[in-house]
Amino acid sequence: MSYFDAASAAPLHPVARQALLASLDEGWADPARLYREGRKARILLDAAREAAAEAIGCRADEVVFTSSGTRAVHSGIAGALAGRRRVGRHLIVSAVEHSSVLHSAEVFEADGGTVTRVPVDRAGTVDPSGYTGALRPDTALAVLQSANHEVGTVQPVAEVAEVCRAAGVPLLVDAAQSLGWGPVDGGWSLLAASAHKWGGPSGVGLLVVRKGVRFAAQGPADERESGRSPGFENIPAVVAAVASLRAVRAEAAQEAVRLRALTERIRARVPQLVPDVEVVGDPERRLPGIVTFSCLYVDGEALLHELDREGFSVSSGSSCTSSTLTPSHVLKAMGVLSEGNVRVSLPGGAAEADVERFLEVLPVAVAGVREKLGAPAPETAVGAEELVVDSLGKRCPVPVIELAKVFGQVPVGGTVRVLSDDEAARLDIPAWCEMRGQEYVGEEPAPRGTAYVVRRVS
C-alpha cells in the first residue's frame, strides 16, 4: 500500500517511536512534583521545550504544549482576542484557512465579533494588500496559514506580518503544514502547529505566544503550561513530537529537493495522461510534497475508492466525497474545479517507483469512473439558439457531464442553460468554462434550483 496522504497525518517517524518508548519509563510522573520521579519528568519536559523553541526560533518560555494542533489554534485565537478586547472585536482571516481557524471565527461572530475573510487568487495565494485593506482601528487579531493544507500553496507570511506589525496588530500563523520543513519567517506574534503533521504522535500541539503580546487564556485557570493549556502533560508524546521535529528538520533540505522533483513529475504528467484535468495551487510557491488536481466528469468518492483498490491512499476536497455535498471551502475560494479532486501528499521517504505506478494506475482509474457514470442522455428543450439542460436532483459531476454532451449542439454565440440544485455546480460550471475557453454568463434564479448560463464562443 502506498500512503500518499501525509498532509492529513504523516507516518510516525522512527525517531519519534524510539523517543516515545524510551521516555515512557522516565516521563510518567507529575513534572510539578519535587521528588525524584517528578524531577526526571520535569527534565524531559524542559528539554523538549528548549528543543522546540530552537526549531521554531523563539524563547522556551514562549512555547506551550497542547493536546492537539486544533486546540492550539482555538486557544491561541481565543486568548489573543480576549487579551486585546479593549482594542476592538474585529478578526481577520484568509478564506482558505484550516477549518479550526474558520470554526473559531464563526464562534467569535456568534458572540458579537466581526470577521473579515481575505480572498485568494486562483492559485490560492493571499495578496498582502488584502490584509492592509482589511485592517481597522478595532482589529484585535489577524490569522494566516504558512502554507495551505489542501493545495500546498505557500503564503506570504513575512509580508503580511510586516503589514500587521506596522498597524500594531498581532498575527497568528497556523504553521501545521510547514513547520517540519523549516521555521516560519517574519515578525509573527503567535504560532500554532501539530505534531502528527511532521511524523510525531497525534495528540500533541504547539502554541507559541511571543513576549509582549496581550493574551488572556480562556476557560478555567490551570497552573500548567503557563495557564494556557490545561491538564496533565503527556510527556512521552511531547518528547517524541519534538524528537521527530528535529529529525525531519535534519532531513528537510535534502528530502525537499527529492519530493519536489516527484511532485513536479506528477504536476507535469497528469494533464498529459488524463484528459480534462486542472492542476491547482501555485506552481512555484508550494510545499515540496503536495500536488492537487481535479478531473472533469468524475465522482471524487468513486475515484478515491478505485485508487484505494489499486493500493494508493489519497484524499480529496471534492464535494462528491462529502456528506454535505458542498465543495471544499479552499477550492471554492480559489474558484477552481472541485469535482474529481485528488490531493497527493507524499510522506518523507516516498519511493519514485510508487509515484511511477500511481501515474500508470491513475488514467485507467479515471477512465473507469467516467465510463461507469455514463452520463444518461439529458432532457433538453430546444430554443432558437439555446438549450436548457435539466439536471435538477443530480449530483456532481453529472450536471457538468450533461452540459458537455449537449454543448456542441448550439451554434457559436448560442447558450446552454443548466438547471441544477447541486451547490457544487456553482463552482464546477464556471471552472468548466475556464478550461474550455467558453463564456460563463452567470447564474439566474429558477423555479427550482439555479440556472447557470454558458455561451459558446468557439
**Residues annotated as part of the active site:** 320
DSSP state of 62: G
The residue behind cell 495522461 is 273
Report the distance separating Cα 148 and Cα 131, nearest Å.
17
In angstroms, the CA 66 to CA 117 distance is 27
Report which secondary-structure segment, H or E, holds 342.
strand 341-345
Of 42, 47, 48, which Cα lies nearest the Cα of 30? 42
Select from 384, 385, 381 the least CA-distant residue to 418: 381
Q: What is d(CA 66, CA 46) in angstroms, rounded to the nearest whole number?
A: 15
Half-sphere exposure of 187 (CA within 13 A, CB side): 14
Residues 247, 13: contact at Cβ < 8 Å?
yes
Closest C-alpha among 162, 155, 89 to residue 124: 155
Query: Taking Cα atoms as reference points, which of 89, 110, 93, 90 lies closest to residue 102?
Result: 93
Whole-angstrom distance between the N-terminal and C-terminal Cα of the chain?
A: 45
- Name the nearest CA neighbour of 175 among 157, 160, 187: 157
Give the containing element (helix H, strand E) for 13: none
Helices (H), 157-234: 157-167
113 within 8 A of 93, measured Cβ to Cβ: no
Residue 92's DSSP bridge partners are 116, 142
Strands (E), 124-270: 139-145, 171-174, 190-194, 205-209
- Whether the CB-CB separation of 163 and 135 falls below 8 Å is answered with yes
Give 257: exposed, middle or buried? Use CB within 10 Å, 0-12, 13-18, 19+: exposed
**What's the rounded Cα separation, in Å, for the pair 402 and 391?**
8
Q: Cα separations (Å) of 445 from 41, 301, 387, 417, 453?
A: 64, 29, 17, 11, 11
